[in-house]
Amino acid sequence: MIYRFDSIPHNIIKHIGGKASNLLRLSKSGFNVPDWYVIPASYFERYYEGSRMDNLKAQFNKGLKIDELSRSLKGVILHDGTLKENIERDIIRVIDEDIFPVSVRSSALNEDSEALSYAGQFSTFLNVTDKNSLSEYILQCLASQYDRRNMVYKRLNKQEKIFQGLAVIIQKMVSSQKSGIIFTADPTTGDKNKIVINGSYGQGEGVVSDSVKSDMYVYDKIENKFEYRIESKKEFVDLNEKGGLIKRSVAEDKIDQPVFTEVELKEIINTASKIEDIFGTPQDIEFAMDKEKIYILQARSITTEVTDEGDELIWDNSNIVESFSGPTTPLTFSFANEAYSIIYRLMCLKLGVSKKTIDENKMIYTNMIGFINNRIYYSLNSWFTALSFLPAYKYNKEFMEKMMGVKSEFKGKLIKKENGT
């Protein structure tokens, strides 16, 4: 069964995943959220109960080659005629024609898990214009949980349950003239007194994927002023009439102009602050603007450790510059960040740190390194906090300082949770 956002039964909410649950809160709170539907994970579960699928899932923990397993599991979903027929019968026929074009996105049941993060790991399809092809995109979105990278991620993190539950969101596309991402705390330093906005013309996918130049605006709450970094924006991402996205040229007179006016920036910040109040934590919010109206596409808690005034995060590249000696791309950083997170969680586990402590302090391990002005730095707060979980921290701290090339004693704040040991 598929549910429109304004008719989701209470007993179904637990089956729609983190992303859809957040959208539901936003919709109920009166924000401009484009109309959307959700197919709960429970709808698909019956199709995972079968001898072939069960046998394949059993092979996951028996060391079957990831490539072979990935192909087989995805094949069961993509080539299951019964599943496709039922989607078309139960789902496609109830969706309003006027919602098209739409995006098709995943909403994992454990997307907000404290143990693991699945952000960006499942397939998203934008500007689907043809209702008759919608079932194909739903199946591809569903099958993407078995992509090779996701299987490797699960095995590295010793996840025995291969299927965690995946709902699918179908949402009306906004024909946006401007779009962007707003962080209600600095995503690099965690400073709650700074709000960061990245924006560009057209669709937000250009900003999210970093495929086009985007402006950056930093608002200082204490000083009540903006700092701008205005880029030369020669291209923007737009909706393609035939479906999907296309890059177009920016009008000559807009290339070097700010995307947002100060009035628009203040309205965006005001909206984001209200969203932060609802969720109770700093938010990472994707938005789009069409005819001066702000639409909220997604909201989630930011993953950087948030700090109060005076709780400085200390970044240093004395050692890591040997590995990343110059400007680095976001793709390289995201891979390195994931590798550091997994490796040092496993290392601490092997050295005797309890799994409970590691899980409670997940934020430390996901922020061992940072990405500042296209260069990679160590977060010394995270490194020394992780070290403090091991015996003899007082003595090992000095060796760590030497190893990392720090020329003065680290006197920064340890950021472990109070109940961490």
pLDDT at 115: 45
Rounded to two decimals, the pTM is: 0.74
pLDDT in tens, 38-80: 999 999 887 766 656 667 766 766 666 788 888 888 888 888 7
Residue 173 · residue 124 · CB < 8 Å? no
Average pLDDT, the chain: 87
Q: Does residue 420 carry a pLDDT above 50?
A: no
The angle subtended at Cα 314 by Cα 310 and Cα 318, nearest 5°, is 160
| Domains of the chain by residue range | 3-172, 178-301, 315-403
Give the pLDDT mean for 303-328.
77
Q: Does residue 119 carry a pLDDT above 60?
A: no
Residue 294 · residue 274 · CB < 8 Å? no
- Please give the CATH topology (third level) of the domain spanning 3-172: Dna Ligase; domain 1 (3.30.1490)
Residue 357 · residue 421 · CB < 8 Å? yes
Q: Does residue 116 carry a pLDDT above 90?
A: no
What percent of the residues of the chain are helix, what percent strand, and what percent coil, each to the nearest 5?
Answer: 40, 20, 35
- List alpha helices for 330-391, DSSP H: 330-350, 355-360, 362-365, 380-388
Which tokens belong to 319? Answer: 């050692």
pLDDT in tens, 222-280: 999 999 999 999 999 999 999 999 999 999 999 999 999 999 999 999 999 999 999 99
Using pLDDT thresholds of 50, 70 and 90, give the confidence band for residue 374.
confident
Give the pLDDT mean for 8-27.
96
pLDDT at 163: 60
- Which CATH number is correct for 178-301, 3.90.79.10, 3.40.718.10, 3.30.470.20, 1.10.357.10? 3.30.470.20
Give the C-alpha separation, 142 to 77, whole Å: 8
pLDDT at 393: 80
Equal CATH topology for 3-172 and 178-301:
no
Identify the residue with better confidence: 408 or 302. 302
12 vs 7, 29, 90, CA distance in Å?
10, 19, 17
Report percent pLDDT > 70 for the chain.
86
pLDDT in tens, 151-189: 777 666 666 565 668 999 999 999 999 999 999 998 877
DSSP bridge pairs for 105: 169
pLDDT in tens, 127-143: 999 998 999 999 999 99
